[in-house]
Amino acid sequence: MITVSGLTKQYGKRLAVQDMTFYVVAGRVTGFVGPNGAGKSTTMRMMVGLTRPDSGEVRYDGTSYTDLKYPARIVGSVLDARCMHPGRTARNHLRAMAATSGLPAGRVEEVLAEVGLETAADQRAGGFSLGMRQRLALAGALLGDPRILLLDEPSNGLDPDGIRWLRTYLTDFATRGGTVFVSSHLIGELSMFAQDLVVVGGGRLLAADSVETITARGETVVIVRTPQPTDLVELLAGQHLHAEATGQRVVVRGTTTTTVSQIAFDHRIRVVELTESTTSLEDSLLDLTRVSAEFASA
Ligand SMILES: Nc1ncnc2c1ncn2[C@@H]1O[C@H](COP(=O)(O)OP(=O)(O)OP(=O)(O)O)[C@@H](O)[C@H]1O
């Protein structure tokens, strides 16, 4: 388990990360989500000792990253897939990484196969697409056969096949008992395969929970299509129900279709269509991050 407690980082006057506290459990994929500039990269850099926090700490099964004897065997991370020598072949890049981290060279061929880069192993990284660099960077993170993966926006530059491959890979990794912490500013994409979410905005933690719990915060609304929208809105207001009309479409909050249809029927309001809709995970998270944006700009 990864335990992040009270992480804080200030750059000049800018508080990039403020009192960030959450944990990431094994056997599940945890998405780290928030708009650009929310503090995701800074938090992840602090998690692997690349940026020094002003305060707070990160522990891996109780041990801080700097105290891990062989960090590459415990935590594999990809924080910037562009960080590689352009003149080196994929194989040589991985060999150099293995040598620097004291890992067996034999792992190089295994990880090349694991990320599907065997046929490109002798090509120079400088000629790689961003998607291929992402695969190579992931191969580097896997060299130490770690049980924890930290990936910052790993699907950047991947084509749809690559994204599907990555999702399956990370899901399998977690199913085998691994811990996966993966950031993205694309909520829809993370909700496709993460089980837990850590949501941040403006450098602060906004929510940390399972995808189901965060989705359940979504509000159910009743949508009515009627040729008498103004009459209906007035009637509902008389019953203390909040409704908004746009053209012939009326959206009513905090009630059920049964109540709305009964009110309409009792007052001879013609209803053409009546449906119920629950806000999506995306909407719930956008609401959360919008609150933080308002907070930040206040
Ligand atoms: N080295 C730095 N020096 C100064 N400010 C920084 C530095 N790194 C990050 N920041 C600032 O800290 C804030 C958080 O940035 P961070 O990159 O962590 O956000 P993010 O959620 O990863 O966003 P993105 O997805 O755009 O990378 C931003 O306002 C950013 O400008």
The pLDDT averaged over each successive group of 10 residues in the chain (298 residues) is 96 94 96 90 95 96 91 91 81 93 92 93 87 91 95 86 89 96 84 89 90 75 94 93 91 89 94 84 69 50
In this structure, what token pair is assigned to residue 6?
């009270």
ipTM of the complex: 0.92
Give the Å distance between the CA of 8 and the centre of ligand 1. Answer: 13
Name the residue at shortest CA distance from atom 1 of ligand 1.
11
Q: How far apart are CA 188 and CA 175, in angstroms?
A: 21
Q: Where are the domains of the chain?
A: 2-216, 219-278
Give the Å distance between the CA of 40 and the centre of ligand 1. Answer: 8
Q: How far apart are CA 197 and CA 218, in angstroms?
A: 15
Mutational pocket test of ligand 1: of 11, 54, 181, the residue with most ligand atoms within 8 Å of the beta carbon: 11
Give the Å distance between the CA of 111 and the centre of ligand 1. Answer: 31
Q: How many CB atoms lie within 10 A of CB 86?
A: 12
Give the Å distance between the CA of 213 and the centre of ligand 1. Answer: 28
> What pLDDT does 50 receive?
93
> What pLDDT does 285 receive?
72
> What pLDDT does 296 receive?
47
Give the Å distance between the CA of 256 and the centre of ligand 1. Answer: 43
Question: Under CATH, which number does the domain 219-278 receive?
Answer: 3.30.70.1510
Q: What's CA 279's distance to the chain center, in Å? A: 19
In this structure, what token pair is assigned to residue 252?
């009513």
Q: How many CB atoms lie within 10 A of CB 239?
A: 12
> What pLDDT does 297 receive?
44
Match domain 2-216 to its CATH number in 3.40.50.720, 3.40.50.300, 3.30.200.20, 3.40.1360.10: 3.40.50.300
Closest atom of ligand 1 to 17 CA is 14
Closest atom of ligand 1 to 35 CA is 21
- What is the DSSP secondary structure assignment for residue 118, as one 8-state letter? G
In this structure, which amino acid lies at residue 20?
M
Q: Which residues line ligand 1 (CB under 6 A)?
A: 11, 14, 16, 34, 36-42, 185
Length of the chain: 298
Q: In sequence order, what are the residues at sequence separation of 6 or more whose Cβ sits closer than 8 angstroms to the Cβ of residue 268?
A: none
> What pLDDT does 295 receive?
45
- Same fold across 2-216 and 219-278: no
Q: β-pairing, 75-78 with 148-152?
A: parallel
